[in-house]
Each structure stands twice: as structure tokens, then as C-alpha cells.
Amino acid sequence: MKTDDKTKYVIIAAIFVMAIFAAVPLFTGNTPSVQGYSTRGECFDSDGGKDYFTSGYVIATMDGVDSGVDNFKDRCIGEKTLLENFCLDGTLKRIHHDCEYECEDGACLPSGCFDSDISNRYPNGRDYYQKGYVSFTYDNTGDAKEDWCLDGDTVQEWICNADGKRVDLTIDCPNGCHDGACQP
């Protein structure tokens, strides 16, 4: 084999290897992009670091000026992407994190949707005659959405769908609606 042919094969092999390494993040589905901002070593994170399930903020001294809380709040970018701010070695850092379920109010909602209306009679949680709620935590304490009457004849019923997301249904109540439930 000629030297020119060997060089071509080495270049092609190198390009192939680089393409594989570049494609790995695309197939894993998690392509975090960390951005850093120069600070003077004074950085405070209200939620203690990279905590994707707690909405927090960072206060950092940048160029001798207090950055303030509003500039660096954790926030949602779209339905499932969280912009998480944190401190690392006295430096403000930001990362885009893909939430498994939803992002709301600057935090990922933890896995698990709980519907208080689920029973043997209503296994899908669609009990329009009982006021209930859905929650996104295992201990049923976080971010509950309650059923409520939109008007005297309509209830907004919250349920967990098959994908584990909470959704609301608008239901007409033939005998009226009172305190978040249709009247029997």
C-alpha cells in the first residue's frame, strides 16, 4: 500500500472516531451545557447546589457588584427544560437540565403522579362526584391541583394520565357543581 493511501485511511478512521464521540450525547438524550460566569469568589446558592427538584437562586459578587437575586433564579425553559444556577468553587455556573416529567416554577417535578380520587369504583381517578386533587410527590404533599367548580354547572377535574402527567378535564354536571364536585 502506498503512503498516500495509508494517509487517506488514517484520516478517514480519525474522522469516523471523532464522529462517534460527537454523536454519543445525541443518543443518550442528555446534553448538558454548563456555562460559567467569572465572580470574585463570593457565591451563594439558596438550594445548596445542583438540586433540580428545588427552585432556588444564586447571589454572586461579580466585578465587585452584588448581582442581586432576580438575575440568577432557577427557571423553566419550556415544558421539560430547567435552567439550574449553582456555585462551583466560588463561580456562578448554569446548566440546562432535561426534567423527566415537567418543569414548573424553576424546578423539575419529581416522578410520580398521585390522584386522590382513585378507588376500586374509579380506578382512573375520574370521580366527578367527589372533590379531589392530584399531586406530583410520593408523600402527596407537593404542588397539588384541586378539583373545582368553574361555574354552577361545570367542574374542572384533575387526573393523572397514562404518561404520569396531570391533566384537567372540564365536565358538565347535570345537577350542578358545588365545592369542586358534581352534585348527585
Length of the chain: 184
What mean pLDDT do residues 153-171 have? 87
Positive or negative: CA dihedral 137, 139, 144, 146: positive
Cα distances from 91 to residues 74, 86, 141, 147, 160, in angstroms, run 16, 8, 34, 44, 40
Q: Determine the pLDDT at residue 21.
A: 39
Alpha helices in the chain (DSSP H): 3-28
Cα distances from 155 to residues 32, 119, 166, 180, in angstroms, run 41, 19, 16, 6
Which one is predicted more confidently, 134 or 32? 134
Write out pLDDT tens, residues 87-114. Answer: 888 888 899 999 887 888 898 877 677 8
Which one is predicted more confidently, 7 or 34? 7
Cα distances from 93 to residues 42, 49, 53, 115, in angstroms, run 13, 10, 17, 37
What mean pLDDT do residues 51-55 have? 88
Question: Could you give the CA distance from residue 110 to residue 125 in angstroms, rounded to a whole number?
Answer: 20
- Among 70-74, 110-114, 139-143, 155-159, the range scoring the smallest mean pLDDT is 139-143
Q: Determine the pLDDT at residue 8.
A: 61
What mean pLDDT do residues 78-82 have? 90
Report whether pLDDT(128) > 70.
yes
pTM to 2 decimals? Answer: 0.46
Beta-bridged to residue 65, according to DSSP, are 62
Report whether pLDDT(13) > 90.
no
Q: Determine the pLDDT at residue 42.
A: 75
- Asked if 133 and 167 touch (Cβ cutoff 8 Å), the reply is no
The amino acid sitting at 104 is E
